[in-house]
């Protein structure tokens, strides 16, 4: 996916090329962190120790929508999420202590998306019609291991 940088409140954010946010301030972005409805939505907060990161979450959602159906695109969009979260933290944290604690949480969010996100990403690609259900690594009848993920899914 081709990307570019946008600036919001002094924070550089990596977005899909051509994306223009509707919001001029970080706190204006809607709540969109979490894995859809249900349990995933409840356990993923919109903040990192009081700092709103919804802009990074929305850009991540849009990136998943626009991404091709490849493992490379999955990892690229997740890396963009981490970079954007860290950029917001770096630009908006008052001191080194809060920045350090928030950076740790950003890494936790990133690892969670990398570990728990593959099925959701591939289900989205099927829903979008970018791949057939049987082309998904999570197709129920597929018996072999998928890209090193083994039997965990």
Q: Please give the structure tokens belonging to residue 97.
A: 């202590």
Tell me what pLDDT residue 50 has. Answer: 86
**Annotated domain spans of the chain:** 3-116
* 84: nearest Cα among 118, 48, 112: 48
**Does residue 2 register a pLDDT over 60?**
yes
* pLDDT tens digits, 79-127: 999 999 999 999 999 999 999 999 999 999 999 999 989 999 999 999 9
What one-character DSSP code corresponds to residue 5? E
Please give the CATH architecture assigned to the domain spanning 3-116. Up-down Bundle (1.20)
* 19: nearest Cα among 35, 32, 3, 7: 3
* Cα torsion angle, 9, 13, 18, 20, sign: negative
Q: How confident is the model over 36-43, as a mean pLDDT?
A: 58
Q: Please give the structure tokens belonging to residue 104.
A: 């740790």
Residue 96: strand, helix, or coil: helix
């Amino acid at each position: 996916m081709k990307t570019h940088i946008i600036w919001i409140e002094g924070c550089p954010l990596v977005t899909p090329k051509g994306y223009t946010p509707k919001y001029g301030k970080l706190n204006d972005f809607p709540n969109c962190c979490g894995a859809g409805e249900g349990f995933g939505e409840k356990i993923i907060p919109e903040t990192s120790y009081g700092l709103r990161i919804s802009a990074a979450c929305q850009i991540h959602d849009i990136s998943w929508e626009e991404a091709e159906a490849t493992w490379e695109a999955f990892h690229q969009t997740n890396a963009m999420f981490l970079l954007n979260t860290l950029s917001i933290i770096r630009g908006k944290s008052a001191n080194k202590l809060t920045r350090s604690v928030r950076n740790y949480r950003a890494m936790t969010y990133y690892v969670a998306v990398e570990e728990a996100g593959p099925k959701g990403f591939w289900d989205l690609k099927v829903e979008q019609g970018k791949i057939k259900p049987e082309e998904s690594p999570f197709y129920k009848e597929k018996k072999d291991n998928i890209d090193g993920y083994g039997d965990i899914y």
